[in-house]
Chains A and B, each alone.
Chain A
């Protein structure tokens, strides 16, 4: 199946630092999504990107849909302790007909130290 390579796998940063993570695919997608998962919970949607080149912000989060449609990145500015969690990228490809599936990256585990 399709593979999404997400990097880095984990990162330790200090509060106030900026964070950058990215996701690359062997296939093109028509939507890129970024999720955050808190411990013991399901992933929650942070940002959705719908066309190549799109740059979208949500508070301190900024994400971009790569021009080639095979990559995306997520930046977090001025990190705070509650940013701790696992961040997943996901590619959404609308198949012919009505079915649609998400392919997920392996996640980036973020830990923030004071």
Chain B
């Protein structure tokens, strides 16, 4: 089925470890983004990309890196995990230039101990 695929679904990290959250879409969407969801905070934008080779920071970018080498993939890297990064992470994609709603992945639940 077409859509946004996120892996892994669950992850536990120790403080200071690094990891990459994967996101892939097969809808040829130009725009991809990462959000984190915390209780009572809604969805906050971490990083976004408007196409291969182009990325920019969102509202809460500190502690995260992204790259966009292909249209399909938009991985999110945690360089040195901290307990404050315990959250549920969602990847979303859409076309650009039209007011289409985003398509979201099913999320990655990350716990940093």
Contacts and interface: CB of A to CB of B under 8 A. Distances in A.
| A in complex with B | yes
Interface of A: 1, 4, 6, 9, 30-31, 33, 35, 40-45, 48, 50, 88, 90, 92, 94, 98-102, 104-107
A42 B42 contact: no
Contacts of A41: 106-107
A31 B106 CA distance: 24
A36 to B, nearest CB: 11
Interface string B46-88: 0010100000101100000000000000000000000000000
Contact of B102 (A45, A50, A94, A106): A45
Contact of B101 (A45, A94, A101, A105): A45
27 contacts: A9-B40, A30-B99, A33-B101, A40-B107, A42-B104, A42-B105, A42-B106, A42-B107, A43-B43, A43-B90, A43-B104, A45-B102, A45-B103, A48-B100, A48-B101, A88-B42, A88-B43, A90-B101, A92-B99, A94-B97, A99-B48, A99-B50, A99-B56, A100-B97, A101-B33, A101-B48, A104-B43
Nearest to B6: A42
B2 interface: no
Top 8 closest A-B pairs, CB basis? A42-B104, A45-B101, A31-B99, A106-B42, A104-B43, A104-B42, A33-B101, A98-B96
